[in-house]
Each structure stands twice: as structure tokens, then as C-alpha cells.
Amino acid sequence: MNIAGVIVEYNPFHNGHHYHLEATRKQTEADLVVAVMSGPFLQRGEPALLSKWERTKLALQAGIDIVIELPYPYATQRAEVFAWGAVSLLHAIGTTHLCFGSEAGTIEPFLKTIEHFAFRKEDYNTLLKKYMAEGNSYPKATALAYKALGLIEEGLLDLSKPNNILGYHYVQAVQKLQSPLRVETIKRVQAGYHDADITDAHIASATAIRKALFEYSKEAPSLKQLTPWFTAAALEQAQQFKQLRRWEDYFSYLKYRLLTEPKEKLNSYYEAEEGLENRFSHVIQHAHSFSDFMTAVKTKRYTWTRIQRLCTHMLTGTTKAEMEAANQLAFPQYLRLLGMSQQGQRYLNQCKKQLSIPLVTKISDIDSQDLIVDHRAAECYQLVDQNNGEIPREYQRTPIRYDAEKKCFI
């Protein structure tokens, strides 16, 4: 049985994702598709446009059979940690293939580049520290070290491209786990990951779609051609009830924390390093929006993403101690099930007793500290929902079930 795994955020699910999913099924000859999906807060340190439950519905309607949540301590981290957590979960649930989108489009450059780095790792780390000490951001220092080692040659991977970077770490994680997962990649088409403008009638990046959604006070008809019908319907409903999420919605909560908590408390939050909390406390006094705040805080050394991640950890109250405890574990300690098709349910019924880590369908299913950070992040995400009293709390949620043949939720 071929079980294909994909690692996603679906923020939101669009035609490019649909292309990747269909190509994954065909290329891997998949009988079943499992998605590891980020929860309420994402890898670039921002709240998801739609809740993880709404995005799970979109994934199931698109043809995913099982949706597993990537825990917060991995979902909101740099690419290497993000990839390790996601690949570990795919390995744990028994997937046979991992298929990701990339700018490269073939797997050979990933394998060749990892092999080259294996012989130059010490030199690379030395150069990375050197460029970081010169005030460069981590991504910039990485690119400079890569160039200085002369690793820009035909056949090697272009690590300036965001999907190539993630793919590189996916392949690394598979090798580190010594997993039998077969890794494949599909070339990303049309829009780039960071493209902020819509230039094609049918394919646009999630970044461009989110930008367009917030540029219109009402529904933007052009977006209907960029997403499957079920995504367009979900976005239209979310717009109508003001349930599309962005950082501006949470700014007042962040501002309150920065203005009222002592510096030593702010310093306890994950990624609060080198006095960044002091800079935050000063700038927040004059900022009237999240955009104002970010523009004033950003420096050459710290990327927008790096600063957003710290904001996310402050907003959710996630401490260094909590994240370091998670980082010390070999891999995620549970599989949090968000949704499944009937075919996915049959597979889980067959394999759940053989799983190496617990399958969690409700928070109450597991008596552990592992879910505390996830639970708090989910509750924090719901702070701005206007119909908060009508939305089930995180501990009340059970997996979404979907009948793919009848195309309806059960």
C-alpha cells in the first residue's frame, strides 16, 4: 500500500496546492494521502488565515485522507526544526512516500547538496558564525557561507529559494531518522512562494491571495478562479463573519503584554535574545498598529519572520523552558488527529495499535504536559472570534470526518 505524505499549511488551500496534491497522487501511485498541517500559528510567525479546523475541512474536500497537526513547538520554528517535526510524524504514522513542492523539481540536487555539505560541515559552521557575528540575519549568513564555500555549481541546489530550503531539510530529516520514506519532489509552477501579486489567472501564491483578501472590503471575485470552489466558499463566509485572521487582530493583546509585563518576564519568552525584548518595549509605546511596530523594530540582523516568531511566542506566552523541553525530545510525542476520510479511518483502525506514539483524538485522551503549549496556542487564537461563545473550545473538539464518496461531512 502506497501512503503519500505531504507537509502543509494551506493558508489558504489554493489551485497550486491542488496541483501539488494531484501530482503527488499520480507520481507516488498513492492509495492514501496523509497531511501534516500546522495549527493556529505558522512557520513564519503569524496566525493562520483560517482556523486549523476550517483548513482541515478544505484538506479533506481536496482529497487528503488523514490530517495530523504539527505541534506548536515545531510549527513555529526555523526550517530545520519545522522539517524534523513534520517528517517524524509522517514516519510515525507509516507513510511510504514524502512528496514536496520545490523550485528545483527533481530530487537529485537535494541529495547531491547534502552529500557536499557532509564533507564541509565544519567549514560551513565556522563561516556561518562569522557572518552572523558581522550582523547578518541567519538566512543571509547561510547564503553567504554557502557562496564562500564555492558550493554554487551546476547540479547543486539553489538554497536561496524558500521551497528548496524546506525540501533540503525534509531530505536531511529522512536521512537522520534512517526512515524508509521514499522522498520525491514536484516542481512548483507559476507563482513563487513569496510573490505578493496575482499575475496568473489561475495560480497565485498564498501570500498574494491573503494580500488580495485584505485589500478588498468585500468579496474579491477574481480570487474564485485561484482556488477550488470549497475554498472560495469558506473564504467568502469567513469574510462575511469577519473570521479571517491576521496579526493586526491580535495587536492589542501583544501591546498589553509588552506594556504591562516586567522586562525579566519578557526575556523568558522563547527567542527573546540579545535584548530584543528591550527594543520591543521601547517601540511598542509609539506603535499604533502591528505593521507600524514591525517596521520600527526590524533591523538588518533580524528578519521580519524572526521578529514575528518572537511576537507569536509572546502573544501565546510560550517560554524558553517550554520550547527547550520540547527540543530536547527526540521527536514529537503524539499524533494529534484533526480529520479523516472514511478510507483514512479504516487505515487508522488497522494500524493504531502498532503506532510508536499515541494517536490523540481529544486533548483528554492523553495525560501529558506535551499538549499544554498546543492547547494554549489554540485558545489564544480564538481570542478575537466575535462569536467566541458559539465556537467549541479546544478540549471539546473531536476529529472531523468526511465521506469522500458522498462529498459531505459526517
Are residues 218 and 254 located together in one domain of the fold? no
pLDDT tier at 17 (50, 70, 90 boundaries)? Answer: very high
Domain boundary among the residues 279, 304, 326 is at 326
How does 361-374 read in b/e, with b if 16+ C-beta sit within 10 Å? bebeebeeebbebb
Mean pLDDT of 103-120: 89
CB count within 10 Å of CB 175 equals 15
**Most confidently modeled of 38-52, 121-135, 155-169, 232-246?**
38-52
pLDDT reported for residue 378: 93
Alpha carbons 277 and 174: distance in angstroms, whole number: 36
pLDDT reported for residue 300: 77
Are residues 310 and 228 located together in one domain of the fold? no
Are 308 and 46 in contact by the 8 Å Cβ rule? The answer is yes
Evaluate if residue 219 carries a pLDDT over 60: no
pLDDT reported for residue 199: 61
Alpha carbons 82 and 369: distance in angstroms, whole number: 20
pLDDT tier at 266 (50, 70, 90 boundaries)? Answer: very high
Return the minimum-mean-pLDDT range out of 17-21, 240-244, 403-407.
240-244
Pairing state between β 359-360 and 335-341: parallel
Among positive and negative, which fits the CA dihedral 60, 62, 65, 66?
negative
Are residues 60 and 191 located together in one domain of the fold? yes
Are residues 99 and 7 located together in one domain of the fold? yes
CB count within 10 Å of CB 208 equals 22
pLDDT reported for residue 195: 56
User: Which segments of 108-250 does DSSP mark as H helices, in order?
Assistant: 108-133, 138-148, 162-177, 206-215, 229-240
Are residues 292 and 363 located together in one domain of the fold? no
- CA of residue 47 relative to chain centroid, distance: 10
Evaluate if residue 196 carries a pLDDT over 90: no
Domain membership of residue 121 (yes or no) is no
Evaluate if residue 193 carries a pLDDT over 70: no
Are 68 and 33 in contact by the 8 Å Cβ rule? The answer is no
Domain membership of residue 145 (yes or no) is no
Are 99 and 6 in contact by the 8 Å Cβ rule? The answer is yes
Domain boundary among the residues 288, 305, 326 is at 326
* Residues annotated within a binding site: 7-20, 101, 163, 188
Report the mean per-residue pLDDT for the chain: 89
Mean pLDDT of 342-352: 96
Mean pLDDT of 118-140: 83
Alpha carbons 53 and 295: distance in angstroms, whole number: 32
pLDDT reported for residue 8: 98
pLDDT tier at 189 (50, 70, 90 boundaries)? Answer: confident
Domain membership of residue 309 (yes or no) is yes
pLDDT reported for residue 222: 64
Q: What are the C-alpha distances in Å from 144 to residues 44, 113, 134, 281?
A: 22, 16, 11, 32
pLDDT reported for residue 77: 94
Domain boundary among the residues 326, 352, 380 is at 326
Query: 113: closest CA among 30, 175, 22?
Result: 175
Are residues 38 and 87 located together in one domain of the fold? yes
Evaluate if residue 226 carries a pLDDT over 60: yes
Alpha carbons 139 and 300: distance in angstroms, whole number: 11
Are residues 189 and 308 located together in one domain of the fold? no
* Residues annotated within a binding site for ATP: 7-20, 101, 163, 188
Alpha carbons 208 and 179: distance in angstroms, whole number: 36
Residue 364 structural domain = 3-103+185-245+332-409
Whether the link from the prior residue into 180 is cis, omega within 30° of 0, is: no
Are residues 53 and 189 located together in one domain of the fold? yes
Are residues 317 and 252 located together in one domain of the fold? yes
For 402, half-sphere exposure in the C-beta direction (CA atoms, 13 angstrom radius) is 22
Residue 279 φ/ψ, nearest 5 degrees: -65, -40
Are residues 223 and 342 located together in one domain of the fold? yes
pLDDT reported for residue 407: 93
CATH of the domain at 24: 3.40.50
Alpha carbons 34 and 67: distance in angstroms, whole number: 6
pLDDT reported for residue 191: 53
**Most confidently modeled of 148-152, 219-223, 283-287?**
283-287
Are residues 219 and 193 located together in one domain of the fold? yes
Single pTM value for the model: 0.92
Are residues 266 and 304 located together in one domain of the fold? yes
Evaluate if residue 228 carries a pLDDT over 50: yes
pLDDT tier at 203 (50, 70, 90 boundaries)? Answer: confident
pLDDT tier at 217 (50, 70, 90 boundaries)? Answer: very low
pLDDT reported for residue 49: 97
pLDDT reported for residue 31: 97
Alpha carbons 305 and 45: distance in angstroms, whole number: 6
Residues near 314 by beta carbon (within 8 Å), at least 6 away in sequence: 254, 257, 258, 266, 269, 272, 280
pLDDT tier at 163 (50, 70, 90 boundaries)? Answer: very high
Are 250 and 258 in contact by the 8 Å Cβ rule? The answer is no
pLDDT reported for residue 159: 80
CA dihedral 220, 223, 225, 228 (to 10 degrees): -120
Alpha carbons 187 and 164: distance in angstroms, whole number: 10
In the chain, the amino acid numbered 320 is K
Read off the pLDDT of residues 349-402 as tens digits, 9 standing for 90 and up. Answer: 999 889 999 999 988 777 666 688 999 999 999 999 866 555 677 878 899 999
Alpha carbons 380 and 391: distance in angstroms, whole number: 13
Read off the pLDDT of residues 59-95 as tens digits, 9 standing for 90 and up. Answer: 999 999 999 999 999 999 999 999 999 999 999 999 9
